[in-house]
Amino acid sequence: MSLFTRSLLRASTRPTFYPTKPTTTRLLPSILARYLSDSTRAAIDNAIATSPVVLFMKGTPEFPQCGFSRASIQVLGLQGVDPQKFTAFNVLEDDELRQGIKEYSSWPTIPQLYVNKEFVGGCDILMSMHSSGELSELFEKAGVLAPGDEAEASTSTSESAEKKDSTKTE
């Protein structure tokens, strides 16, 4: 499983959210900070269109900073989601994204998974869909799974790299 996770992870570090201008959002009381501006909405529109599979999470796939985000990444790895079709956004790097995505999805918690721009759910939903088989059905229909042969080839070559990487910290 860790091998799948690893190949999933590598590709996921590429995008950053968007160049953020300093905003006053974080200085406002939380009730006002939850107001979603047009620019934030547009940025999130772009973010969810980055890849067929998009996860908003705390931390990075390599270093999740919350158990729920970690579990979600593991499920995506187990499901065999194609790294080329996956992007993760770290909400801890951007307070506007962190607050905005909750309002955008009408979902109060992080992580949040989008597939083909549609909101799927948070960690609890991923877990239950994973065990019920709904998730693999969804991924298959969406055409986001790694092709079987290639996935295997990439896991065997990444094995030695993984050992070297294991002590790396950010």
Nearer to other proteins, 46 or 109 (CB): 109
The H-or-E segment that residue 54 falls in is: strand 53-57
Cβ atoms within 10 Å, residue 160: 9
Q: Is residue 34 involved in binding other proteins (CB under 8 A)?
A: yes
CA 152 to chain centroid, in Å, comes to: 22
Out of 52, 59, 64, 122, the residue judged to bind other proteins by CB under 8 A: 122
Nearer to other proteins, 18 or 119 (CB): 119
**Number of separate helices (H) and strands (E) present in the chain:** 8, 4
Q: Is residue 97 involved in binding other proteins (CB under 8 A)?
A: no
Question: Which stretch in 14-22, 40-48, 104-112, 157-165 sits in contact with other proteins by CB under 8 A?
Answer: 104-112
The H-or-E segment that residue 145 falls in is: none
CA distances 170 to 33, 41, 71, 164, Å, are 29, 30, 20, 15
Q: Is residue 111 involved in binding other proteins (CB under 8 A)?
A: no
Out of 11, 57, 81, 120, the residue judged to bind other proteins by CB under 8 A: 120
Binding site for other proteins (CB under 8 A): 30, 34, 66, 68, 106-109, 119-125, 128-129
